[in-house]
Amino acid sequence: MTKTLPNEAIRKAAALLREARNGIALTGAGVSTPSGIPDFRSPESGLWKRYNPMEVASLRAFRYNPERFYAWLREIASGIRAAQPNPAHYALAALQQAGYIHTIITQNVDALHQRAGVRRVLEVHGTLETLTCTRCYHKFHAADYIEDYLENGNIPRCPDCGGVLKPDVILFEEQLPFLVWNQAQEAARTCDLILVAGSSLTVMPVAGLPVQALNNNARMIIINKAPTYIDVRADVVLRGDVAELLPLLAEEALRG
């Protein structure tokens, strides 16, 4: 890791972006928290400080007590519905449009990247935008059910068979979406630069993607408030709020 002053680090990171021919980004909760969406694991305010995830957000919990799951999810879904993309989302969209970042791999389920104009997004932890019937496996748009759920607390049910609809987010005890995860690994293995933004890199297996990129001799930029396990191997580390630093980085990269 190169120790440089913030402005020097931003200039170096921008130069790396401009040199990249197949850059990717990996984003975590820190990209969405400036939009008002709480994260799950922060020591002070994370949702897991208030809830036992295995009791409310595991596959077993959903199957045996979907009412409790949906009661817990209601607050989160309401916040996501009200959230808007922040400057970090728009900065990544600008970097993609300029050709510096081709693929964005995200751990977030809020679809804010897409709403900011990002085209190629791999949602490795799923999305709240769609629902799947647990009985007949038909898929539905969450927008058709969200208002009744948020206002009245009614659990979404399949209009065809009456089965409970499960949000297409990845719960504890559940495997990552096979095709998306394979695409994410391929993107990491073949990129020449990886930009990690707003992720503490503590959740496996996604936290291992930067290692796959490094094994391909990719350069690495990390933007995060807290240290990560792989900072020591990064070319540039920018410590701070991604909603402030990513726009500065994008502006510097696009200026060149």
Element (H, E) at 220: strand 219-224
Q: Is the pTM of this model over 0.85?
A: yes
Within 10 A of 8 (CB to CB), how many other CB atoms are there? 12
Mean pLDDT across 128-138: 96
Asked if residues 247 and 13 have their Cβ atoms less than 8 Å apart, the reply is no
pLDDT tens digit sequence for 205-219:
999 999 999 999 999
Give the per-residue pLDDT at 238: 96
We report the CATH number of the domain holding residue 64 as: 3.30.1600.10
Claim to verify: residue 146 and residue 29 sit in the same structural domain: no
pLDDT tens digit sequence for 75-91:
888 888 889 999 999 99
Domain around 15: 1-37+86-125+176-256
The total number of structural domains in the chain stands at 2
Give the per-residue pLDDT at 42: 52
Residue at token pair 């068979």: 161
Give the per-residue pLDDT at 54: 73
Q: How far is residue 141's CA from residue 104's CA, in Å, rounded to a whole number?
A: 23
Claim to verify: residue 102 and residue 195 sit in the same structural domain: yes
Q: How far is residue 104's CA from residue 96's CA, in Å, rounded to a whole number?
A: 9
Q: How far is residue 110's CA from residue 146's CA, in Å, rounded to a whole number?
A: 14
pLDDT tens digit sequence for 9-44:
999 999 999 999 999 999 999 999 999 987 655 545
Mark which of 139, 169, 199 sits at the end of a domain. Answer: 169
- Catalytic positions are 125
Claim to verify: residue 243 and residue 153 sit in the same structural domain: no
Claim to verify: residue 251 and residue 182 sit in the same structural domain: yes
Asked if residues 13 and 194 have their Cβ atoms less than 8 Å apart, the reply is no
**CA-atom Rg of the chain in angstroms:** 19
Residue at token pair 């990560």: 228
Claim to verify: residue 216 and residue 197 sit in the same structural domain: yes
Element (H, E) at 25: strand 23-27
We report the CATH number of the domain holding residue 191 as: 3.40.50.1220
- Total residue count of the chain as it appears in this document: 256
Residue 4 pLDDT class (50, 70, 90 cuts): very low
Q: What are the strands of the beta sheet with 126-133, ordered from one edge?
A: 139-141, 126-133, 165-169
